[in-house]
Structure 1
Amino acid sequence: MAASLLRQNKVLYFFGFGRKAHDLIVTSNRTIMTSRARMERVVEDLQKNPYFEKYAQKIAKLQETSPEEFLSRCEEKERKIREEKVFFTHPKKTSKSQSLWKTMSHVWRSSRLRNQSFIRSYSQMASKTKYITTPIFYVNAAPHIGHLYTAVVADCIAKFNQMQGHQTVLNTGTDEHGNKVQRAAKQLSLPVDLYCELTSKKFREMCEHFQVDYTNFIRTTEPHHQKTVQYFWKLLEEKNHIYKGKYTGWYCVPDEAFLFDQDLVDKKTPSGDTIKVSAESGHPVEWTEEDNYKFRLSSFQDDLRHWLKDEKVVQPSVYHKILSQWVEDERCLADLSISRPRSRAPWGIRTPSDPDQTIYVWLDALVNYLTVLGYPHREFKQFWPPTVQVIGKDILKFHGIYWPAFLMAVGLEPPKTLLCHSHWTVDNEKMSKSKGNVVSPFDAAKQFSADGLRYFLLRDSVPHNDANYSTERVLNVLNSELADTLGNLINRCTGKLVNPKQEIPSAAGHGRFLKSEVAQSLRASMEALGDTAKQHYESFYVHHVVDAAMSTVRCANAVVEYHKPWSLRKEPDNEAAVAELKAVIALALEATRISALVLYPVMPALSTVVLDFLNVPMNERSWKHTKPVYLNSTASTESEPFGHSNTIIFPKIKLAA
């Protein structure tokens, strides 16, 4: 009986219901509850736990027990948990409760992570800290606009959260291990470490050139990352999630992935031979037989299903659906080879317990998200789990199946949201070296400016469909919206013929003066813009943010067109005309100020130029300042001078023939 109780006690705590769960246990004749009211409160609390439904049946099996002895054991277990000083210990020094995970379920469901005090402390912190990541970029080639797009999407999300007042961490970097990297270095006759250093530098320069303001830039060849990966491996090993086995099958070197027969198609080579290639990437595969270490991925199907119950964890919904289908496919959840013979893949991190094996590049790479936060030291918990992890659709399986399973295996929360985006084509064709159509972001920025390119990539794409890059399209978008719409609005209000005093009339003093229908429409657009844009940013539809901001700017242009300030300027002695003139300029420039704030995460440099020109103080550039100042009864009604004399915000682009 005692052994049975102990097993039940352990299982209950592993399910993560903590102290209150024991109040639900009943015998066949009586309940442990001291009152009906208490029972109702406990049941209500349990039902709020996201894992109650999943483990309700297993809890029910624990009902036949001795309540007194069961409660005594629960209280003793809870006391030991409270007395623990350190959350993480070296695998060789794990506590008894941790070692139980060798044969039980996963630590991420344990009371250590799911007790009520942890949930309360995390919920208080969640609104203040945001952790956003890009995938780390593989250094087998230089950056292209696809890499830049991923980086600016993540940066855009980070900047929006910073404007909300959140403490935000944005991490990026480079993935530098694997045979593809070794082969790329050999082609250039460079030592592998030097090749990695030079290529990684290009990605860092890309981020800096396009104002991707990362908190950390990690390289997987850095010693501290290698130590973290080996620690993570030991933890998986200690918890019995790794075993040694033999792999026989097809391996794709360019994709760094093992493939099934169903994932392959036949392809004719120029010489007439038939080879097998990956159906998804088109890369050739080779038959491989080898001994390596495997991760028990197949045991995580239920956990992955449960994680995916919340459709918001993978966005857009099309990728949530794809991932859900994969989780139901046993082939996708076959135990995963997570090492390679060192003789075949020497450029990698060695496994801690077997010097003849190196760690699979994708396990190595994914752990970077922990390394940059200081894992396994306690400080990493301040930002864990990731708020948003931005990825491309080609790496959805790695981030949507392998990554959460690895995390669950060591007792960590999976990401809150995976934002998966589609790819960029060039002139409606897939980018490839063989076609010679790979677009360098540095070259494109010379034509369109860094912020112009950022604006186009974020403005002309949607996450769920591939987007198309063409020089003509970029030119048309930038000239139409940044030069002719936004730039022209500022020019019409700041030219000396219309505004000889070169001043910004106060929107607080003049914003409500105009009674025309177009002016009323503009005020309505301005007043709604902040809330509308916020909703779109939070839904990751940045193109809708741009649409909303440009709609407000167009409304402002309509006001200028209707009231004709150039005509009003010709009546300097007419008080009504002078008042109307000031109101037109004030309202139009206020629309410009709000739009520049809303678009700051999209085009930070250009927005900063506009805000500086409008003399907006640095402490008035947060999201709460996207409300029109005429709604603020304490705002100044005094006019101000321009911040500088240059009114050419975005000159029209003319490409050489």
Structure 2
Amino acid sequence: MSTFPDRVHWTKEENYMFRLSAFRDPLRAWLRDNPRAVSPEPFYQRVLRWLDEDLPDLSVSRESSRLPWGIPVPGDPTQTVYVWVDALVNYLSAVGYPEAHGQWWPCAHHVVGKDILRFHAVYWPALLMAAGLPPPERILVHSHWTVHGQKMSKSLGNVVEPGPCMGRFSVDGFRYFLLRQGVPERDCDFYHQKVVKLLNSELADALGGLLNRSTAPSINPSNTYPRFSEACFPKVSDCRETKGAGRASAEDYEFLASVASLPLRVATCFENFQIYKALECISLCVRQTNSFFQRHRPWKLDRQDPMEQLWLDTIIHVTLESLRVCGTLLQPVIPHTAHRLLSRLAVQPQERGLLGLTFLPRYHGKPCPFEGRQLGEDTGLLFHRLEKSDQHETGTKEL
């Protein structure tokens, strides 16, 4: 039996209004002069469209007789501040407005869901302008996660609980999946089999498998970071000029150029709030390194031949260098796994900085601090494969 009334009852009340319509042109000018103020681009365009539509003045209070729990309007106890205005103003009050906010404002970045974009990209900048303060520097907007193509809902029982997921996939694994698959511009779909497939493919097999292969006793019996041979892999100005230049092929030189450019590409993606693209670049690099290692079949080389041994050492050195770069770049996303990887490569904590990260210094005639260093302890599999069986969807009720 429905408890809702069978008739609509119209009511009216007096509220304080904010003249939002007066800020249409200032808001347009702010966005026009700051095209990165709202990103990604689709959300920037959405805000511009809103400003082209009707922009009614905003009610900023409610009658306290029906909302007694809110913050009273100063000087008028009959009115309560509209909760969203109170929430937005908290950004300023939390940093000491009006006395001590200067050290934080205007360099403010907001990370918001797409469902509250209008509040942060229209109402909030207009309120700041009215107060004589500059709008936020950037508003970074993200979309939502769905489950098997449906919106999460308590009534449907398909809400994904983070705790059980972290228990099943590990904190690193769960974080990697969300950041690898989470595209800010559009909603992304979650289901456990998808997580298992991605983590097994990219962390267990590609990254972990490469580390195990390149440090295995059968390949690297001395358990060291071997030397790089310039004779086997001489520096060339153009990857097409490789004929007669040692053992490396044009494909190898293209691979080196790709890894060398990886730190800058990843940094650019992070700066642009495109973490999924950064991880895509790193994943591609790991696949390229696996291809490089597989292409030259180091297990087939004759260790009794000095030149073959030089080439074998060079293959391993290049592989470990690529792993070191990828492991360093992965630290913000999978810190525990990256720590284990870098520790296996004997990279010390003070050598794991993102700034100044360079790949293969020996190729450029510079000393490599890792060369000849004893590798760290082998602590087993870098990332354990997950069971493909998905009979129990942890934290999720199947529909």
Residue equivalent to 1:577: 308
Matched, 1:552 2:285: yes
Which blocks of at least 5 consecutive residues in structure 1 are unaligned? 1-269, 277-284
- Indicate the SS of the match to 1:530: helix
Alignment of structure 1 residues 392-541 onto 2, 5 Å:
392-506=113-227, 512=233, 515-541=248-274
The 8 Å contact of residues 525 and 552 in structure 1, kept in 2 or not, is answered as yes
Matched, 1:649 2:382: yes
Alignment partners' CA distance in 2, 1:469 and 1:542:
17
Alignment partners' CA distance in 1, 2:351 and 2:377:
18
| Amino acid in the other structure paired with 1:497 | S
Relative to structure 1, is the Cα distance of residues 580 and 274 closer, same or farther in structure 2, using a 3 angstrom cutoff? Answer: farther
Residue equivalent to 2:39: 315
Give the percent of matched residue pairs that are identical in Structure 1 and Structure 2: 40
Task: Give the Å deviation of 1:623.
Answer: 2.9
1:346 to 47, 65, 68: 68
Relative to structure 1, is the Cα distance of residues 344 and 492 closer, same or farther in structure 2, using a 3 angstrom cutoff? Answer: same
Larger Rg: 1 or 2? Answer: 1
Higher relative CO (Cα under 8 Å, sequence separation at least 6) belongs to 2
Matched, 1:614 2:338: no
The 8 Å contact of residues 62 and 82 in structure 2, kept in 1 or not, is answered as yes
Relative to structure 1, is the Cα distance of residues 544 and 428 closer, same or farther in structure 2, using a 3 angstrom cutoff? Answer: same
Relative to structure 1, is the Cα distance of residues 525 and 590 closer, same or farther in structure 2, using a 3 angstrom cutoff? Answer: same
Q: TM-score, normalised by structure 2?
A: 0.85
Relative to structure 1, is the Cα distance of residues 554 and 334 closer, same or farther in structure 2, using a 3 angstrom cutoff? Answer: same
Alignment of structure 1 residues 243-282 onto 2, 5 Å:
none
Give the count of matched residue pairs.
375
The 8 Å contact of residues 286 and 323 in structure 2, kept in 1 or not, is answered as yes
| Amino acid in the other structure paired with 1:476 | K
The 8 Å contact of residues 193 and 388 in structure 2, kept in 1 or not, is answered as no
Alignment partners' CA distance in 2, 1:507 and 1:373:
53
Alignment partners' CA distance in 2, 1:384 and 1:506:
51
- Indicate the SS of the match to 2:317: helix
Q: TM-score, normalised by structure 1?
A: 0.53
Alignment partners' CA distance in 2, 1:286 and 1:444:
46
1:297 to 20, 23, 43: 20
| Amino acid in the other structure paired with 2:126 | A
| Amino acid in the other structure paired with 2:340 | V
Task: Give the Å deviation of 1:519.
Answer: 2.7
Relative to structure 1, is the Cα distance of residues 405 and 497 closer, same or farther in structure 2, using a 3 angstrom cutoff? Answer: same
Deviations 1:113-167 (A, max 9, x none): xxxxxxxxxxxxxxxxxxxxxxxxxxxxxxxxxxxxxxxxxxxxxxxxxxxxxxx
Task: Give the Å deviation of 1:504.
Answer: 2.0
Alignment partners' CA distance in 2, 1:627 and 1:508:
18
Residue equivalent to 1:601: 332
- Indicate the SS of the match to 1:390: strand
Residue equivalent to 1:18: none
- Indicate the SS of the match to 1:481: helix
Alignment partners' CA distance in 1, 2:365 and 2:339:
23
Which blocks of at least 5 consecutive residues in structure 2 are unaligned? 235-246, 392-399
The 8 Å contact of residues 295 and 335 in structure 1, kept in 2 or not, is answered as yes
| 4+ runs deviating over 4 angstroms | 270-276, 285-288, 506-511
The structure whose residues are more often strand, as a share, is: 1
Alignment partners' CA distance in 2, 1:371 and 1:272:
41
The 8 Å contact of residues 341 and 357 in structure 1, kept in 2 or not, is answered as yes
Residue equivalent to 1:328: 52
- Indicate the SS of the match to 1:641: coil
- Indicate the SS of the match to 2:207: helix
Task: Give the Å deviation of 1:416.
Answer: 1.7
The 8 Å contact of residues 350 and 357 in structure 1, kept in 2 or not, is answered as yes
- Indicate the SS of the match to 1:501: coil
